């Protein structure tokens, strides 16, 4: 079970690197006594990585959806099914 979870985490990290992401970086400055003087948060855009994109495209046949993706798809389908049932009930 752990191997599958590890593989899913690695594939998710590869997808994230291939698509690019935003990174929050925090910098704290201290004075001579060790008191916090300045605290700064900076958002950085990490661009998509071509090597990660290439690797993902090569592995398309092997790629399995992550648990999160499966759960999102399940929720989407359940909502769609519920909407169809509601339409059917209104017609009666």
Residues 29 and 41: their CA atoms lie apart, in Å, by: 12
Q: Residue 92: helix, strand or coil by DSSP?
A: coil
Question: Regarding predicted confidence, which is higher, 90 or 22?
Answer: 22
Q: Give the CA angle between residues 19, 7, 75 to the nearest 5°.
A: 70
Q: pLDDT, tens digit, for every residue of 61-80?
A: 566 777 888 899 999 999 99
Q: pLDDT, tens digit, for every residue of 33-51?
A: 989 999 999 999 999 999 9
Q: Provide the residue ranges of all domains of the chain, joining segments of one domain with +.
A: 1-61, 64-92
Q: Residue 20: helix, strand or coil by DSSP?
A: coil
Structure confidence at residue 38 (pLDDT): 92
Structure confidence at residue 19 (pLDDT): 93
């Amino acid at each position: 079970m752990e191997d599958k979870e590890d593989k899913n985490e690695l594939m998710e990290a590869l997808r994230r690197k291939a698509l690019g992401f935003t990174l929050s970086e925090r910098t704290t400055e201290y004075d001579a006594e060790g008191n916090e003087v300045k605290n700064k948060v900076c958002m950085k855009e990490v661009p998509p990585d071509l090597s990660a994109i290439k690797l993902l495209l090569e592995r398309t046949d092997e790629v399995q959806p992550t648990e999160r993706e499966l759960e999102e798809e399940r929720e989407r389908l359940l909502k769609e099914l519920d909407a169809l049932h509601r339409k059917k009930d209104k017609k009666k």
